[in-house]
Structure 1
Amino acid sequence: MTLPNLLIVGAQKSGTTWLHRALAKSKNFWGSDPKELNFWNQKKRNIEEYKKYFADAPPEITYVYESTPTYLRLPGKEVDIAKNIKEGLGDIPLLLMIRDPRHRYLSAYTHHMLKGRLELVEEITLISDEFLMLSLGLYAKMLSHYKNYFSKIYVHTYEELLESPSGLFERICAELSVKSDLKEKDLLFRANDKNIKKRSAGIDKLPVLSAEANQSLCDFYREDVENMSKLINRDLSHWLN
């Protein structure tokens, strides 16, 4: 039975749902349904049960994949996700989507707020690591750990997605050595539309970060953003403005 030879490992709130759906439109990729299997982040795992999610993948497909943003974690007391993936699937290519960690924090906070886990507010002043809202934006630390196990980690930004979905898709295809077979119109769709969730929650507008919270986040993430710029050889200094 088939196991994935490609994973989208994160980061949360950075476009992974869009990427999962976009790749699934291509003849070169076959993605799991549901998207997030949360397998390699578990202490106890049944590989035979995991294989069942990929049983319908056509044999001629180049890449079979799943997308679980919670895979992007540093090792815990009992689970090292990167090590688990490497031991289970080998040195497969990984896709990583990241975004300005301040915006990721805002998106994560809004997500938990709309889910009823945090108080409904119009302006976010609280800086908290509840639900790992802060920690999950420390990309450099997590990527550095993954680099100990994997040689092919392709990193892209949420800004790339906003600027040109088709350009992002083409770059990923080139990295994975497959032909880009989708048109721009195939990739112009939204995923996880918060405006729909906003109406469901009965609020008129989504929250914003206060100026003080924005500055606190800049200060908190500064060193990690600078390290991430070096890791991926890309200027991310605008994230600190």
Structure 2
Amino acid sequence: MDWTLARLLQYMRWRGREEYRSVRRRLSLDYARVAYWLPTRNPDFLGIGAPRSATTWLYQRLSLHPGICLSEKKEVHFLSIPEGKGTYVYGPDVGHFIRRPYDLNNPHHWRWYRSLFGKCGNKVCGEITPVYSVLDADRIAVVKEHLPDLKLIYIMRNPIARAWSGVRKELWWRFHMHPHEVSSPEALMRMAMRPQVLACGNYADVITRWETHYPNRILYLFYDDIMVDAQDVLRGVCDFLHVDRGPLETAGGHSERVNDVPTDDIPPAVRSALAAYYAPQLPFLEQKFGRSFSHWI
């Protein structure tokens, strides 16, 4: 099959999956409008990002714990987007203007969201949607009003590596392409320097916004630490959620990479541009966490 045609089919399959998911979401919301009998409860915790920073790994690991109940699928996106508006969302649909139907002012929509955790009983429950990290202050205030007792888990990764991983994933998922197959270096630069990509690595801004509403309720993790000792990181997560460490101590496989995409070297110009953009936040992070991040830049 012609390679260009294969890429077109790959893109069409992705678009078809997104349309199918959109229809399912709308049907589920319509059902929640009348289904007052649905068991509901608030989530106990959220994984808020950052994208491309081992959030899928965390979801898969926590799903092994019998005392933790997660949403059936990762990345619910309920809190992300007001009804009738669109936004860039991270993943296979990066760079696309995706419409989602959720409205945080609609009690029926909240019933649908809380029904995701109604089956969890007395287990600790939650969901992980990485783009929650970039919610603006007003949106976080609305979340706080509805979910005042949330705990939050936030993973940070070298922002340059994180952004480049996102570019590679976008090209691979949407077009089955490697970055070196993109003929224009300027195109790769534009992809890496888009505002929605840069925002996901603005950790200082994310921390400031979320801590304004949820002080002392955020567990900060680092991708570097997961690579060194994933088991120890999971112990910290269990302690934060007040669940027994034991089930994850014996589960194994914690160092396996998940949701990975083919590797490709980052162009020096792209690296330099990202380094210049992210360098100003390092003093804030180093002071807050008492560790050096100079190796990131």
Q: Same fold (TM over 0.5)?
A: yes
Structure 1 runs of 4+ with >6 Å offset: none
Q: Which runs of 5+ in 1 are unaligned?
A: 196-205
Paired amino acid for 2:223: Y
One-letter identity of the residue aligned with 2:208: S
Q: How many residues align?
A: 225
What is the CA-CA distance between 1:56 and the residue it aligns to? 1.7
1:203 matched to which residue of 2?
none
Select which of 112, 115, 122 maps to 1:49. Answer: 112
Q: Give the 3-state SS of the residue equivalent to 1:115 in structure 2.
A: helix
Identity of aligned residues (%): 23
* Cα distance in 2, alignment partners of residues 140 and 51 from structure 1: 30
Partner AA of 2:63 in structure 1: A
1:132 aligns with 2:196: yes
Write out aligned runs for 1:1-241 (5 A). 1-43=40-82, 44-45=103-104, 46-57=109-120, 59-61=121-123, 63-75=124-136, 80-116=138-174, 120-122=178-180, 126-128=188-190, 129-130=193-194, 132-151=196-215, 152-181=217-246, 182=248, 183=250, 185-195=252-262, 206-240=263-297
Distance apart, 1:93 and its partner CA: 1.2
Does structure 2 conserve the Cα–Cα contact (< 8 Å) formed by 1:16 and 1:67?
A: yes
Per the TM alignment, residue 85 of structure 1 is displaced from its structure 2 partner at its CA by 2.0
CA distance in 2, matches of 1:27, 1:234: 34
1:81 CA displacement? 3.2
Q: Secondary structure at the match of 1:86?
A: helix
The answer for unaligned runs of 5 or more in structure 2 is 1-39, 83-102
Given residue 51 of structure 1, which amino acid in structure 2 is its aligned partner?
A: R
Q: Which moved more, 1:130-139 or 1:142-151?
A: 130-139
Letter in 1 for 2:189: I
1:165–1:184 contact (8 Å) kept in structure 2: no
Q: Quick check: 2:80–2:135 contact (8 Å CA) kept in 1?
A: no
Note the C-alpha offset of 1:51.
1.6
Distance in 1, Cα, partners of 2:257 & 2:133: 23
Q: Distance in 2 between matches of 1:225 and 1:184?
A: 35
The whole-number CA distance in structure 1 between the counterparts of 2:232 and 2:251 is 9
Displacement of 1:95 in angstroms is: 0.1
Higher helix share: 2
Aligned equivalents of 2:292, 2:243: Cα separation in 1: 27
Q: Which moved more, 1:229-238 or 1:121-130?
A: 121-130
For the residue of structure 1 that corresponds to 2:252, the secondary structure is helix
Backbone CA RMSD of aligned residues: 2.2
Q: Sort the Cα spacing of 1:75 and 1:117 in 2 relative to 1 into closer, same or farther, 3 A.
A: farther
Contact conserved, 1:8 with 1:94, CA < 8 A, in 2? yes
